[in-house]
Structure 1
Amino acid sequence: MAQTGSPRARGKAPKRPRYGRWILLIIALIIINNFIGISIYVYRIWETLPPVHELKEWHPDEPLRIYAADGSLLQEVGPQMRYALPIDQIPVKLQESFISAENARFYSNNPLYYPVSYPGIIRAALVDLIHMSPVQGASTIPEQVARNFYLTPQKTITRKIAEILLAYKLADHFSHKQILELYLNKIYLGQGAYGVQAAARTYYGKSVEQLTLGEMATIAGLPPAPSVLNPVMNPDLAKKRRAYVLKRLVNRGYITRAEAAKANAEPVLSRFHAQASDSAPYVTDWIASWLTQQFGSDFTYRSGLKVYTSIIPKDQIAANEAVAVGLENYDMGLSSMDPKIYRGPVARLSGDALQTALTGKRPDALPPHDPANLKWGVVITANSKTATVSLEGKKNINMTLRDVRWARLRFNSPLPSQVDSVLHSGDLIWLRPYVHAMTAGAGQEWGANVWSSAGKDPGWQLTQIPKVQGALVSLDSRNGAIHAMVGGFSYELSHFNRAVFAYRQPGSGFKPFVYAAAMDAPALLASGQSTYMTPQTPIPDTPLSITLPDGQVYAPTNYSKQFSNTPIPVWSNLAYSHNVPSVRILMDIGIPYAAQYVQRFGFPAKQVPEVPSMVLGAGDYSPLQMARAYSVFSSGGFLPHPYLITKIVNGRGTQISLLNCPMGYAPPPQQTAIPPGVAYLMTQMMQQVIKIGTGVAAQSLGRNDIAGKTGTTNNENNAWFNGFSPRMTTSVWVGYDDNHTMGRWAAGAREALPIWIHYMRTAMAGYPATGFFRPPSVTGPTISGGSNVIGVSDYLAGYPPIAPTSSTASTSSGAGTDTGSKLMDTIKNLF
């Protein structure tokens, strides 16, 4: 058959353009370009990364910790709770729990899984893609360490790349164990706890080595969501997470199924454990403030300082209660002869506010925290005989007329006879545990109401936040160690530490210092006087007028506004706190001499006014100064340096000097400030204050080794009791911050003394009554014929009332010892 068509048609088909090669080339160029761009991008991130080798010297920021004398934690002050432990001190099972839960292939050397898990990243990326949001993480333990130390938790591609790069850096500089140690000490585990030791203490009140397997698994389950998986806030979720961790432990061969089952059966009993008792807030506040002034905030609160104090917890708790209840009693009219009124409820709730309060939500009308010993309540119903009150929304209690009887509604109104005349539905009120008040020293002029607990379950009593304030300082008489300090009714309501910074007139509480000056024979003779006084020296109690240098006439009067027709012995003047004879004593020995002498008790010269009313407490002194001064009598003549801080140690265990600390430890004094004989005679006289004088209520303690002196100022602005035993000295002040009167019948015996008694009952418990040391320089009987009269022969032997000689002056112008080194050694041995 003949061929048809053109020659071109009969030849080869024409070649088509090769677009595939160009497409592949373009794709390759794009990939290369992107690779170069990504490399540059990653390199720039790499260049910005910090060096990780510095973590070899890493120590966590640890808060300031302040400890009591028995080693218990008083306060922890700082932004975070951290403890650093070497990996060898962290239980292996706890390590394995975290590895199982967070990074099962942590100890693998496969580059696919360590230090970064690429399968994990792919898996997380797919999950995130499905949900169109970053819902799952894939960070290994090295990556988490990198993020915790250097990066933010914000989920971005840049941060993830930086995290991966830092993980490689960490793996290059640190071993697996070193990385795990950093992780377990840095990871946040909720409730302000960073690291496993902090978590163990926070949730279980234990150290890590004391944790059970179930507790370890619970803590190991926290990192993904500490607030959601928190065993305190969500025990059910925490239990499920614990089961997951235990299952992973079994799968990895770290524990057996039997061990897992036993751990799963453990009840979730976790609760928030406050590590610090916070029982001495005025003390810890003073310490933190002083440290901040000395070293700055960053060093104080982040360097792991440990401050060891002289505070005795049981004494401090007793002091807190004594001051709180005593001030409440005054404000409720239970310890005052002046009528007091109930100022009404904090607020009257209704509607939603009432309903939410009944479920336990704290009403906005209240301060953020309950002050002192008070609890808030809401009245549900009230009738003439009883009221039902919701106690902080936790339980309902019944209150009777006994519990509200004190609540006089007006000054001139009678005490209420029906409960519903005081309480009404919706009232937001303050409550305290009920206390019994009984009169100590009943039948005597200066008897006072002293309270006691009503038993194991005393019930609740209506009260109110007192407007009056108070302070208490108690210290070791010989070495000055402060065992308890309270600076006000409630630290929550006022941070001002009145024990240290409130300078108030001490009233008759200052008399003993001037009386001591009058009986110090060597000092008086050295000053040019020809005589000195003994406890039996009679002093006229008749009207007195003194013309002052400016021409004004000063005419002191007694508290009773009455005078005696016969002279009164010095000891009796002090016991009954007569004012006019005290001024006569001062004028007799001379104001300049007395002003100089009282400085031996630690009072700065600038605080001592050289006026006739000095003996009646015209100067201003703090409770801390008064306690220190009275300790001279208690210690047998020694003036101690009051201290709170015994030792400060930094995070590395190095002790910090206390040289510049005004309340840092100082050795006990080796020389007396006044003769021991004078200290003893003054102590004997102040024992009479308690036996027959203004302090008779203290007899309720049933001890014969206590002494002290009341103090009340003009217009009853301040009330004091300063008292001591052979071991401790305690000063109590009560008054208003604005210094206005506490009422016509207010007095140290009624307002301050009950607080002192309540505190000393606890503080002296366990100490036998040993009596006060009697120096050999004091001769004669202390009590004549069994009567409460100090013997006339009580005087300092060896110092007859004669004119001084040059030798007497030269040997008596110092501290005032009386019988030499043997006597000093005898006194020192007692302590």
Structure 2
Amino acid sequence: MANRNTTRKQAPKAHGRHWGRWILLILLLIFLNIGIGVGIYTYRIWQTLPPVHELKEWRPDEPLRIYAANGELLQVVGPQMRYALPITRIPVKLQDAFIAAENAHFYSDNPLYYPVSYTGILRAAVVDLIHMAPVQGASTIPEQVARNFYLTPQKTISRKVAEILLAYKLSMHFTHQQILELYLNKIYLGEGAYGVQAAARIYYGKNVNQLTLGEMATLAGLPPAPSYLNPVVNPKLAEKRRAYVLKRMEKLGFITADEAAAARAEPILSQFHATASNSAPYVTDWIANWLSQQFGPDFTYRSGLKVYTTILPKAQAAANEAVAVGLENYDMGLSSMDSKAYRGPVAQLSGAALQSALAGKRPAMLPPHDPANLQWGVVTAADAGSASVSLEGKHSVTLSLKDVNWARAKRGAPQPKAVNQVLHAGDLIWLRPYVHAVTAGAGQEWGANVWSSGGPNSGWQLTQIPQVQGALVSLNSRTGAIHALVGGFSYELSHFNRAVFAYRQPGSGFKPFVYAAAMDAPALLAAGNSTYLTPQTPIPDTPLSITLPTGQIYSPTNYSNQYSNTPIPVWADLAYSHNVPSVRILMDIGIPYAVQYVQRFGLPAQQIPAVPSMVLGSGDYTPLQLARGYAVFSSGGFLPTPYLITKIVNSRGTQISLMNCPLGYAPPPQQTAIPPGVAYLMTQMMQQVIKIGTGVAAQSLGRNDIAGKTGTTNNENNAWFNGFSPRITTSVWVGYDDNRTMGRWAAGAREALPIWIHYMRTAMAGEPDIGFFRPPDVVSAATASDSSAGRRQIGVSDYLAGYPPIAAPAAPTASTESGTGTDLGTHLLNTIKSLF
């Protein structure tokens, strides 16, 4: 019985061992299946991974960069700011900073730590389990390279597996240094900066080799949260993160304790550095559009093209200011004889909108960026004597009556006598730095308001966005290099480039081209004409009627609608811009001949109307075309080809052809388009425009080496001033885009000339007042004239006889010709070229 009982008690143990073996077998099968499944899953992911060896040829997508003539960066056009540097050009301490912060075992060959850190993965997994969310990463530098190049930042298991596998692939094809180079050039560090060089430029305005140790550590602390740890946005958090990086660098032996302490003591001085000045937006826009049309947008904006231009930053800044202030002055009635009206505030703010604006938030009804030189403000209080204005929510400024007294309620209304007649609490308004307006040429018929900056402490002035538009082009008269170009009041408000694409009538600004044709004796002779004009030739200024081929009667009038009983010399006709004598000159030399001759100034034949009003500027031309034409006078007869681009290079430094570029570099011409003598005589005549004629306001520049011509069209639709010094030619146009009138008293002398003066004051600063070159074949001699015809016989040497005295840079030399443009010889051409 005892044995039987013992047997019965041991049976359950055997049964338990039986089930234990089955459970173990089932678990083994489960783990085997899981292993097989994980293996298949991993293998499938591996099969889908890209071939990483292609990264050996990788270069980052680099944006288009456009540079000024002095190397200043004008604009960066592209999706991100990137630079690619070889690892040898990245400072070792900067490399060490990122290794200390992101992957201390980066140079280890231990499979536990490189290319994947399994201890890091375990640590992150524990933290994630505690928080029940993927809150901590554990990516080594190879893993980050894999993610940055091929994967999304989404935190999923499949992405993590792919990241690990790609890290192994990378380690099989690349050395540690090659992987680190890819990482440091690809990593996103905030503010649109990809890579350490871009970040150094953005945060410190430096190259990586100029960074201090503290700045290097600050950049190395950014990868985990570039926006949150941004030293510009959160300097205190950035300082804490920098301290962590420095501590890690010291612990790993990358720096000494003294170096770490000195770096920790550095103040956080980061500030956002604009990638470019963007001072010539109409220029950079034209260049980007041309490149995109020529090569396609992908190559243009992602291949790292570098475009070098002729823009002079100082001149461009002066042009921007001159056009903006000049157009504002017109719209405020400060440069016009026609009073203008204040169109009222942009909006009347109240409630939450008012409080938001006072806190510095930009009101939604404003354009995204301030146009030109304007800033927005909100009136917080106003009484008779002054108004308090919150300037963009940053600080308060005070406006007095002098700052708003231009703001009439309507045209012709009296000026306001109290500030609160104009401004009221809650008004959203535009302000500009105060401008001093002084009348140049006061007491003379063509005096005009010319302004100057009030300086940094002159306060602010109420203004409004002008409805009128304008353009300015300034170029080197001999080479054609464009130094400054403005296509409108504000690129922010209108991208249309009026300097290049706006075809407008030049009015009297066209006269010099026809006058030159009338004084070129050899050209007239070749055209079958036996006589020519001189500056002293008298031309009748009496009413004129011409029967056109259509049977219509054309009767030109002078601007003043007045005439002279006595003939007026050619030089005075030009200086005072008389219209009727100009038409007589055109009819005298013949319209077909004039059309052919005017083409010498680079004006296309299809744009030149073969009608009597041609001389008065009835054709349509762009400011750039007129600037080129006037450069012929300034350069002594040479027709330059205007250009903006000196060269384009790709990311490897290879130059791109400019063959099809309409504003690409072209060498200066070696042959004159018109005789140097004719160019000189026309220049002398256009100096009289400034000395006694419609351009007298330009005397405020205090120089003797300037010349030019005003232009005003019928109904005062367009106002021009085209003028030059011996080196610089500048054309200015003012008018409405819809070609409506600017007012009865609008004129080139009042609207365009002040802009030209303000710009040229800066453009000519530092240049000696040397006068214009006088060709040796221009002589002065007494002659007889055919007073009845008002013309001279060919061969007479008296171009300057009786001409008002003008300082000349050189004494005349004997010659049998008189500015007729016969072969002057190589020595004359070389002398003219040497001036440029």
Tell me: CA distance 1:526–1:32, structure 2 relative to 1, closer, same or farther (3 Å): same
What are the Cα deviations for residues 229-272 of structure 1, in whole angstroms up to 9, with x where unaligned? 11111111111111111111111111222222221121111111
Q: Which residue of 1 aligns with 2:249?
A: 249
Q: Which residue of 2 aligns with 1:819?
A: 824
Q: Which residue of 2 aligns with 1:575?
A: 575
What are the Cα deviations for residues 345-374 of structure 1, in whole angstroms up to 9, with x where unaligned? 001111111111111110111110000000
Please say if 1:201 is aligned against 2:201: yes
Counterpart of 2:657, as a letter, is: S
Q: CA deviation at 1:825?
A: 2.4
Tell me: CA distance 1:251–1:744, structure 2 relative to 1, closer, same or farther (3 Å): same
Pairing 1:723-738 to 2, within 5 Å after superposition: 723-738=723-738
Contact 1:688–1:788 at 8 Å: present in 2 too? no
Q: Which residue of 2 aligns with 1:275?
A: 275
Contact 1:677–1:818 at 8 Å: present in 2 too? no
Counterpart of 2:489, as a letter, is: F
Partners in 2 of 1:494 and 1:342 — Cα distance?
22
Counterpart of 2:156, as a letter, is: T
Between the aligned residues of both structures, percent identity stands at 78
Q: Which residue of 1 aligns with 2:303?
A: 303
| Contiguous gaps of at least 5 residues in structure 1 | 802-811
Helix, strand or coil at the partner of 2:430: strand
Q: Which residue of 2 aligns with 1:807?
A: none
Q: Which residue of 1 aligns with 2:15?
A: 16
Counterpart of 1:829, as a letter, is: S
Tell me: CA distance 1:360–1:141, structure 2 relative to 1, closer, same or farther (3 Å): same
Partners in 1 of 2:245 and 2:462 — Cα distance?
50
Counterpart of 2:98, as a letter, is: F
Partners in 1 of 2:235 and 2:830 — Cα distance?
64
Tell me: CA distance 1:820–1:13, structure 2 relative to 1, closer, same or farther (3 Å): closer
What are the Cα deviations for residues 746-770 of structure 1, in whole angstroms up to 9, with x where unaligned? 0000000000000000000000011
Q: CA deviation at 1:494?
A: 0.2
Q: CA deviation at 1:829?
A: 2.5
RMSD over aligned Cα, in angstroms? 1.9
What are the Cα deviations for residues 770-828 of structure 1, in whole angstroms up to 9, with x where unaligned? 1100001100178778945899x999954589xxxxxxxxxx9xxx6542333222222
Contact 2:516–2:678 at 8 Å: present in 1 too? yes
Partners in 2 of 1:276 and 1:117 — Cα distance?
41
Pairing 1:433-444 to 2, within 5 Å after superposition: 433-444=433-444
Partners in 1 of 2:147 and 2:190 — Cα distance?
17
- Alignment length (residue pairs): 814
Please say if 1:382 is aligned against 2:382: yes
Contact 2:776–2:812 at 8 Å: present in 1 too? no
| Contiguous gaps of at least 5 residues in structure 2 | 782-798
Counterpart of 2:833, as a letter, is: K
Pairing 1:59-78 to 2, within 5 Å after superposition: 59-78=59-78
What are the Cα deviations for residues 718-762 of structure 1, in whole angstroms up to 9, with x where unaligned? 000000000010000000000000000000000000000000000
Partners in 2 of 1:355 and 1:341 — Cα distance?
29
Tell me: CA distance 1:526–1:39, structure 2 relative to 1, closer, same or farther (3 Å): same
Partners in 2 of 1:669 and 1:348 — Cα distance?
58
Counterpart of 1:260, as a letter, is: A
Q: TM-score, normalised by structure 2?
A: 0.95
Contact 1:470–1:735 at 8 Å: present in 2 too? yes
Please say if 1:290 is aligned against 2:290: yes
Q: CA deviation at 1:542?
A: 0.6
What are the Cα deviations for residues 624-670 of structure 1, in whole angstroms up to 9, with x where unaligned? 00000000000000000000000000011100010000000000000
Partners in 2 of 1:175 and 1:563 — Cα distance?
89
Pairing 1:418-437 to 2, within 5 Å after superposition: 418-437=418-437
Contact 1:49–1:162 at 8 Å: present in 2 too? yes
Partners in 2 of 1:7 and 1:87 — Cα distance?
85
Structure 1 runs of 4+ off > 3 angstroms?
4-15, 781-791, 793-801
Partners in 1 of 2:104 and 2:513 — Cα distance?
75
Counterpart of 1:456, as a letter, is: P
Counterpart of 1:482, as a letter, is: I
Helix, strand or coil at the partner of 2:656: coil
Counterpart of 2:578, as a letter, is: H
Helix, strand or coil at the partner of 1:643: coil
Partners in 2 of 1:245 and 1:622 — Cα distance?
59
Tell me: CA distance 1:12–1:630, structure 2 relative to 1, closer, same or farther (3 Å): closer
Counterpart of 2:231, as a letter, is: P
Partners in 2 of 1:335 and 1:800 — Cα distance?
41
Which deviates further from its counterpart, 403-412 or 335-344?
Answer: 403-412
Q: Which residue of 2 aligns with 1:830?
A: 835
Pairing 1:16-415 to 2, within 5 Å after superposition: 16=15, 18-415=18-415
Tell me: CA distance 1:5–1:39, structure 2 relative to 1, closer, same or farther (3 Å): closer
Contact 1:633–1:680 at 8 Å: present in 2 too? yes
Tell me: CA distance 1:20–1:336, structure 2 relative to 1, closer, same or farther (3 Å): same
Counterpart of 1:667, as a letter, is: P
Which deviates further from its counterpart, 275-284 or 259-268?
Answer: 259-268
Q: Which residue of 1 aligns with 2:787?
A: none
What are the Cα deviations for residues 312-370 of structure 1, in whole angstroms up to 9, with x where unaligned? 00000000000000000000000000010000000111111111111111011111000
Q: Which residue of 1 aligns with 2:765?
A: 765
Contact 1:784–1:790 at 8 Å: present in 2 too? no
What are the Cα deviations for residues 491-534 of structure 1, in whole angstroms up to 9, with x where unaligned? 00000000000000000000000000000001000000010111
Helix, strand or coil at the partner of 1:16: helix
Q: Which residue of 1 aligns with 2:698?
A: 698
Tell me: CA distance 1:146–1:566, structure 2 relative to 1, closer, same or farther (3 Å): same
Q: Which residue of 1 aligns with 2:479?
A: 479
Partners in 1 of 2:330 and 2:612 — Cα distance?
32
Contact 1:535–1:790 at 8 Å: present in 2 too? no
Counterpart of 1:827, as a letter, is: I
Tell me: CA distance 1:5–1:566, structure 2 relative to 1, closer, same or farther (3 Å): closer
Tell me: CA distance 1:9–1:761, structure 2 relative to 1, closer, same or farther (3 Å): closer
Partners in 2 of 1:440 and 1:12 — Cα distance?
126
Partners in 2 of 1:73 and 1:515 — Cα distance?
43
Contact 1:521–1:799 at 8 Å: present in 2 too? no
Which deviates further from its counterpart, 258-267 or 484-493?
Answer: 258-267
What are the Cα deviations for residues 440-491 of structure 1, in whole angstroms up to 9, with x where unaligned? 0011100000001123311100000000000000000000000000000000
Tell me: CA distance 1:24–1:324, structure 2 relative to 1, closer, same or farther (3 Å): same
Which deviates further from its counterpart, 681-690 or 31-40?
Answer: 31-40
Partners in 1 of 2:121 and 2:65 — Cα distance?
42
Tell me: CA distance 1:670–1:409, structure 2 relative to 1, closer, same or farther (3 Å): same
Contact 2:217–2:245 at 8 Å: present in 1 too? yes
Partners in 2 of 1:12 and 1:664 — Cα distance?
105
Partners in 2 of 1:58 and 1:780 — Cα distance?
71
Q: TM-score, normalised by structure 1?
A: 0.96
Which deviates further from its counterpart, 122-131 or 257-266?
Answer: 257-266
Contact 1:521–1:796 at 8 Å: present in 2 too? no
Q: Which residue of 2 aligns with 1:809?
A: none
Please say if 1:465 is aligned against 2:465: yes
Q: Which residue of 2 aligns with 1:563?
A: 563
Partners in 1 of 2:485 and 2:340 — Cα distance?
28
Contact 2:776–2:813 at 8 Å: present in 1 too? no
Q: Which residue of 2 aligns with 1:629?
A: 629
Helix, strand or coil at the partner of 2:123: helix
Pairing 1:580-591 to 2, within 5 Å after superposition: 580-591=580-591
Counterpart of 1:826, as a letter, is: T
Contact 1:571–1:790 at 8 Å: present in 2 too? no
Contact 1:720–1:753 at 8 Å: present in 2 too? yes
Pairing 1:562-711 to 2, within 5 Å after superposition: 562-711=562-711
Q: Which residue of 1 aligns with 2:796?
A: none
What are the Cα deviations for residues 531-586 of structure 1, in whole angstroms up to 9, with x where unaligned? 01111111100100000011100000000101110111100000000000000000
Contact 2:780–2:801 at 8 Å: present in 1 too? no
Tell me: CA distance 1:115–1:703, structure 2 relative to 1, closer, same or farther (3 Å): same
Partners in 2 of 1:637 and 1:8 — Cα distance?
133
Q: CA deviation at 1:410?
A: 1.5
Tell me: CA distance 1:326–1:457, structure 2 relative to 1, closer, same or farther (3 Å): same
